[in-house]
Structure formats: structure tokens, C-alpha cells
Structure 1
Amino acid sequence: MTKITKIAIISSILFFTAGCGTAKDNTVSTTTSGNDFTNQDTKTVTTNTQTNLAKAKVAANAWKSDAYFAGLNFRVPGDLNPLSLSMTYIFGSNEDKDNWFTYSIDAQNKFVRAAIPKADFLGTDLQPIQEQYWKKSYVDILRTADDNGGTAYKAQHPEAQTTVTLSQSAPKNWTWYVVEYRGATDAQKIRISANDGLIYNDSGILVSK
């Protein structure tokens, strides 16, 4: 078994710059118009996401036999090119309550595995993802978020970075996407149900259809 490297987080664990392997490529290539990230085909994105999740689960089970899928995290590439995307799949284990196991994979199928202290990355409150409620792709979610304040925020903050996190968490212990647009001095977050694609506030109250 490959030794799992514990990484001390300095600023963010959204991306890894060096891989420790290359996964077998069974994904479907994604075609876009003008390299616009949100113009990707939803079905293709879903297929690729699930294919990479399957690879991540194999790696997580090698880490701990009781590993459970706890989340997904990525930053939208600055060039809006899907080929620049690296996604981090997050797993927990009752055998290791102090760490998350992460599997980050890019569009070239290069991957990195790491055990991350929960205190350094996403906290301790993530629950196993109830995958039957994970019905919306990240492209669906980003379109909704952009249409409901995200595009306006980015127009006012051209330096802003966009981060997407999928988790099973409060409020209501639902399956949520949180899209965060972060500029130099402030940020805007939009919470969207992974089940119905609607926007809710941080108390779990529906705010937009």
C-alpha cells in the first residue's frame, strides 16, 4: 500500500501541484464552447465526476476499509478551461476521527492522495454523502449561482476566485453545494440543494426558485 502523506495545510488544499500517480483514463472528453466552464454538457460532466469518484473510493478504501464519501471540493479554473480543473474528493473514517482522506485528480488523470487534519480542512462536521440526493451536477449549480448574484459579484470583483464544495451538513443535514465567490476584501456564498437545485439561506429556508 502506498504510504499516505500527512500534509500540513498552509493556506488551502483546493489543489495539488504534483501528482503521485496517473489513474486509468475511462472518462469521456468534455467539449465546450469558447472554453466557458459552464457551457459543458451536464451529462458528460456527471459521467466524469462519477468515474473519478469510483477511482477515489478505491483509493479511500485502501486507506481505511470503512472509508465513506464525505464531500467534493474544487476551485473553478481562472481560465474557465475544464482541462485546467482539479477536483478533490473527501472521505472520512470512524477508524480515524482526526483526519480526512483526500483524492485530488485533474483532467489528465494525475492524482494525489493525502490525509489531512480535519481542523485544517473543512472542519469536523461533514457526514457521509447521501448520494441518492446528489442529483445536480456542478455545472447546473454554477449556472444557478452565477444567475443569482455570482455574475454580478465577479463583474465588481474581477480578481474573485470561485470555489465549489459539496457536503452533507447543516442546515437540516442535507446534501448541499456551497458556491463561494471570494474577492480581495470580501466574499459571497450561495447555498444550493444538490437534490432540487434551489437556493436556500444558511438556516435552510428557501430563498429562490
Structure 2
Amino acid sequence: MIRLTLAQEPAEFDAKVRQPGLRALDEMVGNPVVRTAGKPYKVKAARKEDLKSVDFPAYWTESTPDLLESYGRLCAYTSFYIHKVTGAPSVDHAVAKTKDWRLAYEWTNYRLVCSLMNSRKGVKNLLDPTAVHDEWFELEFVSFQVIPRPGLGGPLAAIVQHTIDELGLNEKSCIDVRTEYAEEYWDTQTAKSWGRLLERCPFVAREMERQGRKQAS
């Protein structure tokens, strides 16, 4: 995992996501709203805090194209490129909707992730990519497993390892992807292949450079 820098909120986000989302929540707790289109939402609860996860209309999906463009199609948890045809991008809420409804339709609460990582993360208390430090995660190049950087304090090392385990970052499929990208670069060692590695698997590129495994230019 590498540190994620939040991108600027898109110009149309408020109109496409925030306003309709918050208006829907008002309707679902019986607050009067001014509707301009679409069917009204049924009352689901007395308070927004009591709404269930399935009650929240998925207006955040409207932000998926902007997230893909803003974050270079990179999954925030795996640091793998989400391919246009075979990849399945999704929007993860850093703070779960049911934990704070006020963040359900906020750009800063969204993380672009592949659908597999989104399902694994769920509402678990894992490290947020915007809060991690680059020196917390290390790539072990013999097995291509992600490990906590040696020297981390006990509690910090534990939460790093917990995040790795819960997301399955060392399952065979993830290891295979890292291996393939690294070997593709090592087989050619050109500026073009290095640029591809930076674009498609930046965590491996960073660790390759840090550990002296990048070809000297």
C-alpha cells in the first residue's frame, strides 16, 4: 500500500452526488424536500443515524469516472491498475455510511478500489490509504509478499499486518500480479517498461527503486 493524496473534488460532484444524496436521506426520515425529478423515497427511519446501509441510494457511483481519472485507475489498497475491460472499479467509503451518514456523499470519503478489495474491506477498521506512511509497508522480493517495514513499533506493525491480512494482499493472485509486473520490467529494463511499472504497479516500482533493484539510468 502506498500513501494516497486526495484529489480535488470535481466541479459537478455537488450536483451529481452530494445534493441528490442528502435530499434522499431527508426524504427517508420524513423531512420535507423540494424535488425536481424522479420518484420520492419512502420513509425508512425516524433519524438518519438509524438508516441501514442498504437504505442509502448509491449516488456515489456517479463519481466513479471522476475517481478513475483522478487516481489513474489505481486501486487504493492493492496499488494495482484497474483495467478498462476486465477490471471492476468500485467506490469504497473510508468511513462507513452507517457510522457517519454525513460522509456518505462526500468526495473526501471516497476511495477508488477494485470490487474484490471493497468486499473484503467492508466496515473493518483498517488503515486508510490517505493516512499511511510510505515507510510502513515493504515488498519482500523473494516471495513478492507485502510485509510491515522492519523496525516499526509493535502496535503500528500489528495494524499494518492486520490490514495486509484482512485485505488478502499476500494471496496468490496478488503475489502473481506483483511478480508479473516486476519480471516484465527486469526482462527489458527500458524507460518504457519502467514507465509502465510506475503506472500499473507503483508500489512495486517504489520498492524496486528503494531496494536498489531498478536499472541504473
TM-score norm. by structure 1 comes to 0.31
TM-score norm. by structure 2 comes to 0.30
Q: Please say which structure displays the higher CA radius of gyration.
A: 2
Counting helix residues as a fraction of each chain, which structure ranks higher? Answer: 2
